[in-house]
Structure formats: C-alpha cells, structure tokens
Structure 1
Amino acid sequence: MDIRLKKYSHSMITKLIVFIFMLACFSGVIHAIGNLVSVNDGEVGIVFEDNFFHSKSFVGESEILISDLTRLLEKYKSEEHILKGGTINKDELRNEEQNLFFDYQLESKSYNPNLREVENYEKFKVEYADKISDLKDQMIKGDLREYHFLLENIEAVDGPLYYASDGVNVYTNSTMNDKQQFKGYPSYMVFEGYKSDIYPKEIEASKYLNRITMELDEWGSENHAIYVAFPRKFLDSKISEWKENKVSATKGFYLLLGFSAGFILSFFYLALVNGRKFFKDKELRLHTVDKLYIDLNILLCIGLITLWLIILEFLELPSNLHWVIPITIPFSAACFLLILSMVRHLKNRTFFKHTLIYQLIKGLIRFVRNVYDSGNVGVKTVLIVIGYPLLIALTFFMFPITIGIAAWFALKKVKSFKAIKDGVERIKNGELHHSIDIGGKGEFASLAANINSITDGLKNAVDNELKSERLKTELITNVSHDIRTPLTSIITYVDLLKKEKDLSKIAEYTEVLDQKSKRLKFLTDDLFEAAKASSGNIPVHLEKIDIVSLIAQGLGEVSEKIEELGLEFRFNHPNDKVFVTADGKLLWRSIENVLSNIFKYALKGSRVYIHIEELEREILLTFKNISAYELNISADELMERFKRGDESRSSQGSGLGLSIAQSLINIQKGKFMIQIDGDLFKSIIYIPKHHKK
C-alpha cells in the first residue's frame, strides 16, 4: 500500500492535476486582489475595523476638507490678500530670481564665465529686468489659481457642514457660525486655536486621526477656528456603505488567504516531486524545456509577465475584472513551466552552469588556456598568424606613416610621464591643491588619478587638522573662561573671609563660596564626563527598552520643573509599545541632557513637541522647542563643546550637554543631530530598533 502511494504521488497524472490546481489558485489570488482593489481602494484594514468611527473611511470624509480649509486660513486667506502679495515671502521670490539667473547662465550669450558672479549678476538684472519684474505677478497668479481650486473643492463638499474663520475671513456652507450649533449634530469636530473637541469620543481612538491633528498642530494663530458637523442622514448613509464594503472586503480577504494557501502548498509539492519518480530517487530527470539556457529562461519569464501586465493595464481593471482569469491562466502556465524548469536545474546543481553567459566565458577561458598552455612557441605562432597579415595590410605603401604614428604615440607617453613627474615634484614642494591632468586612459592616466587621490587625502587631512586645532583653541578658551569665573570668585571671597570679623558677613561669604565651589565641581564633572563619552571608555549594556515608557516616566519625574517654567509638552507616539536596543542609563542620560537644554533655553510658556516615529531599522526621536535666545549660530557650531545658545555665556550651563548626548548616543550605535530653523530648535535621535531574534 505504501509503495502504491509513493508511485501515485509522483505519477504524471497527479502532477498534472496539482499543476492545474495551482494555476486555478494563482488565478484566484489575482482575481481576489483585483476585487480588494475595486472595493475600498484595496484597503484591507477595513476587515479588522470594528467601528465606523475608527475607520479610515470616516477620517477621510473630513481630512481633505480640513486640509483645504487650513490652507485657506493659514496661507491664502482671501483673494485681496493674495493680490497684495501677502502669500509671497522674500525667500520664495529670491529662489525664483535665482532660477531665472541659472537660465541666464545657460541661455544668454551675454553671460561671461570669466567675469565674477557679481558682475554677471548685474548684467543679468539689466538684460532680464522685464522677466524679473514679472516674477511676482506670475507667483501671485499661481497662488490665485490654487486659491480658487481650493474654493471649488470646499464648495463641492456635499454632506458635512463646515465653518472656518481666522477672525477676518470666513468659509462656510451653512448659516451656522457658533460651535454650539455644530455640537448639536450626532458627530462633529471643533478646532479652536490649539484646542479641539471631537464627538463621539470613539474617534479619538482612531489611528488615522493624527492625519488631521498633526496638521492643525502647526497653526500659527489662536484666532483660527474650524467647525465640521456630520448630519444623521449623511452618517447613516456612510455607515451603511462602510458595512457593505467591510462585508465585501472580508469575503475577498478570506478568499485571498484560501487561494494563497492552496497556491503555496501546490507549488511546494510540485517543487518537491519535480524531476523525480519517488522521494528518495537520486537521479533527476530533465525534460526538453530544460535545454533552454537559464538566463534566456529568466528573460522569457520577464517578457511574459510584462506582456501580461500590459494586457491587464489595457483592460482598464477593475471594470473588466471578469477577464482576469482567462488571461492569467495561459500566461501563468507558461511562466510556471519555465520556473519549474529552473527548480529542476537548482536540484540538479546546474543552475549557473546552464547559462549562456557561463558557456561563453567558459569557451573563452578554454581558448586562452589552450594558447597559454602551448608555450612560448604557440603564443608567438598565434601572434604571427593573426598579427603579421594585419600589419602588412595596414602598412603596405605607407611605411613612413606607420613610423610617424609610432613616434607620436611614444612622444605622447613621454609627455604623460613628464607631466606626472613635474606634478609629483610640485606636490612634494607643498602644492597640495595641484591636480595632475593628462587625460585619456591607460596606466599613466590611472597612475595620475591615484596620485590625485593621495593629494585629496592629504588636503583633507590638513583641513581636518586645522579644524581640530581651531576647536582645541576654542575649547581651551571656553573652558578657561567658564572655570576661571567661579575660581576667581572663590579666591576673592577667601581673601575677604580672612579679613572679616562680622559673623553675618562670614556666613554670607561662606554661602557664596559654597555656590561657586558647586559650580566649579559641576563644570569639572561635565568636562570629565564629556572626555569619557568622546573616548568611548564607558561600559555599554545593550538591552530591550520601551522608549515610550522611558520618556513618559522621565517627564513625570521632571513635571515640577515643567510647571515652574510654564512649558506645555506634546508627546506624540504610536499606540503600540516601541522597543529599542540601547543602554537604559546612557539613553536616559542623553535624553535628560536634551531636556536640560530645553529647560535652560526654551521660551517660557511655549510648547515642546516630542515625536516618536518607527522607521524600518531605527526609531526616530525628535524634540522641538522655541528658543528664548536668538539662535544666530549654526547647528555645527552649537554642537561644539562649551558652546551655548546665548553667546554672552550668562546661563548656568556648561555647554557640554549636547556634546555628551551625541557621544553617548554614538556609543549605543545611534545618531544624534540638531537642526535650527529660525528660533525653532530640534534635537534628533536615531536609535536602533529592537528586532526579535
């Protein structure tokens, strides 16, 4: 019975039946995918949604509307505002003028590359005066087109009722202008300034809601207000439509799972029994189709798939979905026959050997080896047989020309050698910016390129050394300044203490000495910690850490400081737990330094944003705050040690916090950087995501 089963399992009839079943399942998979795309735009997530107010469909009803209203209030305001040039800033105008200057460089005959750019720019202003004056008008026309496009969008809204105002301009499709009137509807969204009121409350649990709230977080005025209400009739219609789509999508999803399982199992079975009469058969039997080279096989598969996709695109799916299966079956049958042929070659260990490229390279190597193995006589014979007739044919009746070409070629090589020799001499004498240019190809050109690479390396090394020396000088200057200040105070008050008799004065001087000594200890501790962190001489214990819980717990610990400064923290993070691979103590020390920097330099009473975003391999942690001081230095300078946001150095920080945070993040295999945009200060941390082993 067991032997019969083995024979039956590997019989041609069985394989043919399974092959047909596999084609049917594959066609079912494609058809199910087409159904899912046609229903709810391929959004499979609707299958797992249990509430209309949690769905993407509900948020989509108001996402575009609120986005358009926000753009109207924030940027365009009114047609009069646009015509006055209120939507155009100097940077945009400057960029457009710069683009026009680039066109002048490429197209104008007046442009002279030998002149300075300033002189060319003056000529450009004269020649392109009319076009420059038209730039602002063109930008205003573009904004007007966008403004009217947004107006058409919101006027076409049918169902939701809305009211939007910035205190001057109003956009609405109803007679209501009070939020209480909007709150009388079964569902509404009310946004006033930086506050929001959404009903029903189930909407706040929707993972899609942040598409709306994140855009509203960037509002620049508390006078802005947007009210959106959803009438009962509209909601009932959308809920009914959502339920129908959910039923259809669920059915399609389960069909997709079933067909996928059938396809995978049948393909796995065919791959297993392919080319063998029974499971332990050591001899693999190839077929006629297996004579086709593998690389040609692959190209043929790609061609069939491309043609199949073109035909499906031509049918304008999903309107003609019933044509998918009849078209898919013949193409998939041909492709899977070719794929199973490649599987047989894999099992036979001839996948790479049975390629046309391999055979051509093998034949060439065999020819060269035969010539080489024949010895010097054979090589000379081949050169004479092939080269002598060619030489005679080329030089017959023009021997002097051949000699001239040889002399020219030799002279060119001598010049190349001399150029390399002179270039090396100049570089040796200190001209590190000199580049050897001999042009062409060959060994001399390769040698010159290698020497230029060495020169570039030397130049970079010198530049880095100069930068390092500058940083060392600034470090010494800043350290001396910060340490000398409390030290000078200590010396002064010690001298006063020696002469003072009044006990109250002595107590006052002692208090000052205590403060200054603590300040001096704080500076030396930070300096020591910065040295350890930059050297990497700190033990690191990487472990799985919930970054959301770590920050939430940390913010709780500094809540008193936050309330004291009047700061408002906005913590945005995924609903699920987010795990990173890091050292808990070092990671919190880095975050603590960033928070400390915020407490020292953030504008009192402002908002602080903390965002956590999951990337493919990393977790992105961003801190944003408004600086109380004018940030008139670059991000690179601010990252240097003993640098502070206030150049007067009047604050109590050491200037080492961000540098220490950067070093600690680096030794945890992460990245730390800062960005400055006006008075907006961003601290950005990339930490490796924890992956299950």
Structure 2
Amino acid sequence: MRNISHARITKVIVFLLAVVCLTGAVKAAVDMEVKSIHLSTINEENYYDSQAFVDESYGLIAPLAELIALYKSEENILSGKALTEEDMHFIEETFVDSFPPYEQNPNWSEAESNRINQERYAAYVKREKEKRINEQVKIYYRLIAELKEKEGILYYGSNGEQKFANSQFQKKQQFESYDAYMLFEGYQHKLYPAEMKNSRSIHNSPYVVEELNPQTDVIYIAFEKSFLQQKTQEWLDGKDTAQHLLNQFLVFLAGFILSFVYLIVVIGRTSFKDNEIHFNVMDKLYNDFNIIIVVSLTMWWIFMMVEVFPDRDVYMLLTILIFSIALLMSLSLVKHIKNRTILSHTLIYQLLKKAFLAVKHVFDSGSTGVKVVLLVIGYPVVVAATFFMFPITIGVAAWLALKKVKSFNRIKEGVEQIKNGELHHHIEVKGKGELSQLATNINQITDGLRKSVDSEIKSERLKTELITNVSHDIRTPLTSIITYVDLLKIEKDPEKIAEYIDVLDQKSKRLKHLTDDLFEAAKASSGSMPVQLEKIDIVSLLTQGIGEMDEMIEASALDFKLAYPTEKVYMKADGKLLWRAIENLFSNIFKYAQPASRVYLDVEDLEDEVRVTFKNISAFELNISADELMERFTRGDESRTSQGSGLGLSIAESLIHIQHGKFIVQVDGDLFKVMIYLPKISNE
C-alpha cells in the first residue's frame, strides 16, 4: 500500500472517481429540481400529511373563500363593494407620489390650490378605482375558471346569496358520505379522516377562511375515492423517487468527499515521509488567476444550467469538463497551501512586494527630507499608473498616513504625560520606523529618569532613617552619661561614685563603638578605604576566626559547623577587610542567633569564584525582607533593645563590594543566610 498510495496512476484513478462522484451528486440534485421533488416528502407518513395534499386542498379553499367572502358576484364588484381598505390606502399613497405639493403653482391662492387638489384627487381616485374594479372582475372569472378545472373534488361554497358548486350537493350530510371531506361552517372546521386533522392543511387553511362570515358563509369539500387513490399513488411514487435521488446524492457526495480528502492528503508528495511539495507546470500559474478561473467556471456552469443548455446530455458532458478543470486547479491551490505559498504565489502579492521593497530601500537609506520629496513626487505617479485601482491606492495611502499620525499623536500625548510627572507612562509604538525609534528613546530616557528619581527618593528616605536611628542610638548612652554625671556632682558615697563611674565607662565605650561603626560605614561606602588584594586561604581564615572566638561561642552555646572542599581553596581579597566583614557577620550571629542552635559555614568552589555561606536561626521573628535588613541601622529586633548598631551588615556589604565581590542576604522564615562571592585564585 505504501508503494501505490502516492503512485501517479492511483492519483489519476482517484481524481477521475472524484469527478464522476461530483457529477453524479450534481445530476441527482438537478433531477430533484427538474422533477420538482421535495425532500420533505421522505418524512411524510401519509398522503394527508403531504405537501401535495396541502397544495390540492388550499388550491380549492382559497378561491372559494375569496369568491364568497370578497368578490361574491360581478354586480358586487362593479358596485365597488369588493374594494378593501388596503386598496384605498394604496390608491391614496400613489396619489401623493404622483402629485407632490411642490408641483403646485406658487401663484395659486390657498383656496384655489385646495380646490384644484380636490379635483385632482377625485379624478385620480375614480380612475384608479375603475382600474382596480376591472382587475377584480378579471380575477373573479379567473377564480371561477380555476374551480371548474378541479376534477375528483366536489365543492360547495355559499354566502347566503351567491353559491359556487360543481355538483348538486348543497347539504353537509351529502359531503360527509365520502371517505374524505373538509367542512367549514360557523366557527367549526370538521375534517375527515383522522389523519387529516394532523395534517399541515389544518394549520394552513384557517387564515384563508378567517374572512368568512361565520353566520352566513359555508364551504363544503369532498374528495372522490378514485381521486384519492390516484393522488396517493402519485405521492408514493414521488416519495420513492425522492428517497432514491437522495440516496444517490448522498452516496456520490460521500464518494467525492472521500476521494477529494485522499487527493488533498497525497497531492504534491511521493510518499508519507516526503516533506517536500512537488509542483508541475500548472502550479506555476499565479493563485489569484487560479481562483478567478475556478470562480468563472463555476458561474458559467450555473448560467449554462439555467439559460443555455436545455439538453441535459450536452449539459452533463460540459459539467464533467468544467468540474475536471476546476478540481485540478483546486488541487493546485491545495499544494500551495501545504507549501505555505498560497498568498506569496499571487501576482498581486509579487507586485506589491516589489513595490514595497523598492520604497523600503529608499526609506531605509534616505533622510527624512528625501522621503518627503519622494512621497510628494511618487504618490501622484503611483495614482496615475494605477488609476483603475484609485480607490485602493488612496485607501492604502490614507491608512498609512493615519497610522503615522496616530503614532505621532501617541508620542506627543506620552511626552505630555511624562512632562506632567507620570514617569511610569510607557509609549507604545509598534514597527521599526523613525517614530518607533523615537518612542523607544523617550521610553529609555523615562526609565533612566524614573530610576534616578526612585534612587533619590530612597536616598532621602535612608538619610531620614539614618538621622532618626543615629539620634536614637547615640542619645540613649549620651542621656545616661549626662544623668550619671549629674549624680556624681551630688553623690558623697564612695561606693556609689565607683558604681556611677563604671556605668559612665560602659556608656562612653558604647558611644565610642557607635561613632566608630558610623565612621567605618561611611568610609567603606564612600570607596576611599585602601584595598590590597592578595591570595587568601579562606578555610584557614575561618578556622582561625572560630578559634579566636571560642569563648564567645561557648558563652552563646552555639554549635558552629564548618564544611569545605578537601582541596585548598584560595580567593583574591584583602585579608584585613575580609576578616572585618566576617567579624561583623560573627558579631551579628552572636547578637541575633537563637541560643543553643547550630550555625553553618559552607565554603564552595564555583570554578571562577568562591562562595562562603553563613546560615543561622534567628532568635527574633524575621518579619522584614532581606533588602530592609541591609539598610543601615536596621536590626533583627524591631524594639531595638539589643546592643547592636544596625550597621554590621551594611559595613560587611560595603567591604565585600570594594573587594570586587558580591554580598547577598536571604531570609526564609526564621532562617537567616548570607552568601559572600569573591574571585577565585588557582592553587598553582
């Protein structure tokens, strides 16, 4: 099957099968139209439920109802009594259209104008009424002639004065003796047999007989047995024919769909694994020409079916030829759809593409002045060259101009908003033109300005917090010093004096520590601190530091866990500054770590750099972010009851940065983690 599924002979056979099936489906549909076959007949259960019975009964009831309710007799028509309100309304409307007020003579007086209009109206109405009466007389005799042509159906209609019948029967009992009848008398409609009551005729007849006078007008209809047998047989034959033609149409349609789907799948390829679309000579025809030919052939086929060829044999031969050509061209379009060239392989697209590329080349390489000159000169030339497409040309030009104007207005409005202080406004201009580049440049300027403003606002906020925190932390020991100095002035007891002096010593040292930290933080952040980078063994530095702080570790009951690679790891750093940063981190751990918890120190080799990680559990709830912890004078305890200055992390960060490293703080619940990255030096 793989060998023959895409074979040329297989495609030809399936193509011929598709043409035959399409032609067969069309022939079945045409036969249904020619033979006036209604598909609804298939679903009809019996003759009384059929459209044929509806047409027969309605074709008799309607003329009878008109004769006895409206026309009645020729004398009644000639007297004008058959004219309805609709007739008079129509005559009045046509009079207004025929003699509008603006045709009146302006020199007439109002009385003269009214008199002339009344004469015109009377004469016009009289003439139109006579014309309408003559038409009604013709209709009256035509309806009588139609009734006389009815065979196999007995009828009687009367309005109490005039009678219309084709038999001697005038009593409803006489009509009830037949196998099928319809009686309209008074407000009741009697139908027999029972199947007739479920027929659509019961739903179509009432509006015809609504004009009957229930007190005087009656209509009796009876159907002869031979007539019913003949019509029932004709209905059965029509139902069989409709079913046969429908089955024929569905079979041919299914065959065409299956064969056409198969052709869509295999066309243009030599196998299922073939990803390339193979074209032939016919496929070189532009797709727009292809579509025009297919549409033209379809329109010609429809015109030919309706007007030109009453001979069905000749018609079917031409149908096969037209369908074959249309199907071939449709499959060519399918190839281009598969190849994604349905639009690009059109003459219009190729012409527009060349024109666009030519204009784009000029606009991409020329200045704004050159572009304006080319537009002024080139557009009239394009309009003159494509005068037959002038609406399209001017439409495209208007669209392009409107697009540029909208882009310019968007930029202008955006600049106005930015000027008014809306620094977060972003100007959206799509495309790659000059206006788009201008919008991008303005957005970049806005981004830089917004960042500068945000940085300045943050700096001002930090300055305010710095002043507040410094004032608070310095005022506390300073207040104690002043208080105890005042007490010393009046105290005579030597023991209390010694106690006061110890307190003053502690507070003064605390004040000195705060000022030293503040000075060191300012010096580190300013970048003026000298840096001497050298090869540092970070593991040895950490081990030595932990050893020097052994007493503090024991006092805090913290368990330090140091993890490091088996091979020595060296980093490029300033030993003193690096130790000062690590010392600040140790100090932070001793102050804020949960007592009797573990502290993890990890040294990791990351090829080009070394990462040192400090992890501990905070004794205080860390309900602030890592960025807020890095701000100066921020502590892990918001009550500020600890002895820290809040500058430790800030100083450590500044010290690492001036050594060309990275300092990162992370908070995960109560887990506090600091990571230091510094450049690595090889062991060689």
Normalising by structure 1, report the TM-score. Answer: 0.51
Native 8 Å contact 1:28 1:325 kept in 2? no
Equivalent residue of 1:367, what SS? helix
Question: 1:51 and 2:43 equivalent?
Answer: no
Native 8 Å contact 2:185 2:214 kept in 1? no
Give the match for residue 486 of structure 1.
Answer: none
Aligned partners of 1:33, 1:49: CA distance in 2, in Å?
Answer: 20
Equivalent residue of 2:233, what SS? helix
Aligned partners of 1:355, 1:387: CA distance in 2, in Å?
Answer: 24
Give the match for residue 368 of structure 1.
Answer: 359
Question: 1:136 and 2:129 equivalent?
Answer: yes
- 142, 145, 156: which one pairs with 1:152? 145
- 244, 256, 263: which one pairs with 2:249? 256
Aligned partners of 1:387, 1:36: CA distance in 2, in Å?
Answer: 57
Aligned partners of 2:168, 2:118: CA distance in 1, in Å?
Answer: 52
Native 8 Å contact 2:50 2:199 kept in 1? yes
Give the match for residue 330 of structure 2.
Answer: 339
Give the C-alpha shift of residue 174 in structure 1: 0.9
Equivalent residue of 1:171, what SS? strand
1:75-474 residue pairs with structure 2 within 5 A?
Answer: 75-89=70-84, 92-105=87-100, 110=104, 123-126=116-119, 130-217=123-210, 219-314=212-307, 320-373=311-364, 374-379=366-371, 382=374
Question: 1:19 and 2:15 equivalent?
Answer: yes
Give the match for residue 69 of structure 2.
Answer: 74
Native 8 Å contact 2:22 2:256 kept in 1? yes
Structure 1 residue ranges without an equivalent (≥5): 390-693
Aligned partners of 1:382, 1:245: CA distance in 2, in Å?
Answer: 73
Native 8 Å contact 2:343 2:349 kept in 1? yes
Native 8 Å contact 1:67 1:215 kept in 2? yes
Equivalent residue of 1:161, what SS? strand
Give the C-alpha shift of residue 8 in structure 1: 0.8
Of stretches 81-90 and 262-271 in structure 1, the one that deviates more from structure 2 is 81-90
Cα deviation 1:166-192 (Å, max 9, x = unaligned): 222211111111111111112111111
Give the match for residue 2 of structure 2.
Answer: 6
Equivalent residue of 1:6, what SS? coil
Aligned partners of 1:204, 1:280: CA distance in 2, in Å?
Answer: 65
Give the C-alpha shift of residue 30 in structure 1: 1.4
Structure 1 or 2, whichever has the larger Rg, is: 2
Q: CA RMSD in A?
A: 3.0
One-letter amino acid of the structure 2 residue matched with residue 244 of structure 1: D
Equivalent residue of 1:7, what SS? coil
Give the C-alpha shift of residue 14 in structure 1: 0.5
Aligned partners of 1:82, 1:269: CA distance in 2, in Å?
Answer: 69
Give the C-alpha shift of residue 265 in structure 1: 0.7
- 25, 28, 31: which one pairs with 2:24? 28
Give the match for residue 389 of structure 2.
Answer: none
Native 8 Å contact 1:101 1:124 kept in 2? no
Aligned partners of 2:18, 2:317: CA distance in 1, in Å?
Answer: 15
Equivalent residue of 2:157, what SS? strand
Native 8 Å contact 1:193 1:222 kept in 2? yes
One-letter amino acid of the structure 2 residue matched with residue 205 of structure 1: N
Native 8 Å contact 2:58 2:201 kept in 1? no
Aligned partners of 1:356, 1:121: CA distance in 2, in Å?
Answer: 68
Cα deviation 1:481-504 (Å, max 9, x = unaligned): xxxxxxxxxxxxxxxxxxxxxxxx
Aligned partners of 1:384, 1:184: CA distance in 2, in Å?
Answer: 93
Give the C-alpha shift of residue 23 in structure 1: 0.7
Give the C-alpha shift of residue 362 in structure 1: 3.0
Equivalent residue of 1:286, what SS? coil
Native 8 Å contact 1:85 1:140 kept in 2? yes
Give the C-alpha shift of residue 316 in structure 1: 6.1
CA distance 1:121–1:65, shift in 2 (3 Å) = farther
One-letter amino acid of the structure 1 residue matched with residue 303 of structure 2: I
Give the C-alpha shift of residue 86 in structure 1: 0.9
Aligned partners of 1:85, 1:301: CA distance in 2, in Å?
Answer: 59
Cα deviation 1:224-254 (Å, max 9, x = unaligned): 2111111111112212222222222222221
Normalising by structure 2, report the TM-score. Answer: 0.51
Aligned partners of 1:60, 1:98: CA distance in 2, in Å?
Answer: 34
**Percent same amino acid among aligned pairs?**
33
Structure 2 residue ranges without an equivalent (≥5): 382-684
Aligned partners of 1:249, 1:311: CA distance in 2, in Å?
Answer: 25
The number of aligned residues is 380
